Amino acid sequence: MEHRKSMFSVERDHRKFGFFEVFSVKPMSVEMNKKVVYESSRLLGPKNPFSRDNAEKIMKETMEEFLEDECYEEKKMKSLAKQIANEIRYKLKVAYVKSRFKFVVTVIIAENKQQDLIVSRKQLHSVKTDVSAEVSYERPSFVAHVYTIAFYQE
């Protein structure tokens, strides 16, 4: 670690006045302090803001790719939901590679028997930087719902 020097040099004056000693202070030359140290800069918001429309497009394309020719089978849909969530997360990370977003992707696939599906969620997020998107996909034998939230990490 480099020792910091004072901008002023202190020279002793050899005259004494009783109990006091006299000091004179003269500014040092600027040439001695040539090294300039800058503070690190921090972004206070995302450079590449999260686009809800772009995220919904990615989610819809991924769901169509995975679920286009599928029929509802409980065991198969469990693993398929994980695959869809991982694929959407990967595509969003590629789309926002230089950003500081962390993605949470939730995929729900339920059998379509003319019943209601009520989904409730709560999260604590910043209204200025965090964005969410959701897409539903319906087939004759099942209904799929994807919810994604992008949290901006400073």
Phi, psi dihedrals of residue 37, rounded to the nearest 5°: -110, 125
- Report if residue 18 sits inside a domain: no
Radius of gyration of the chain (CA): 31
140 or 29, which is more confident?
140
d(CA 147, CA 152): 17
Q: Which residue shows structure tokens 């729900």?
A: 108
Residue 20, in any domain of the structure: no
**Residue 14, domain member (yes or no):** no
Q: Is residue 33 part of a domain?
A: no
Strands 131-138, 142-152: parallel, antiparallel or unpaired by DSSP? antiparallel
Per the structure, how many domains does the chain have?
A: 1
Residue 6 lies in a domain: no
pLDDT tens, residue by residue, 21-56? 555 555 555 555 567 777 767 766 777 778 889 999
85-124 per-position pLDDT tens digit: 999 999 999 988 878 888 999 999 999 888 877 778 787 7
CATH of the domain at 136: 3.30.1140.40
Domain range holding 63? Answer: 52-152
pTM beyond 0.85, yes or no: no
Q: Answer whether 126's CB lies under 8 Å from 45's CB.
A: no
Looking at the domain assignment, is residue 26 inside a domain? Answer: no
In a domain, 9, yes or no: no
Residue 124 within a domain: yes
The per-residue DSSP string of 10-49 comes to: EEEEEEEETTEEEEEEEEPPGGGG----PPPP--SS-SSP
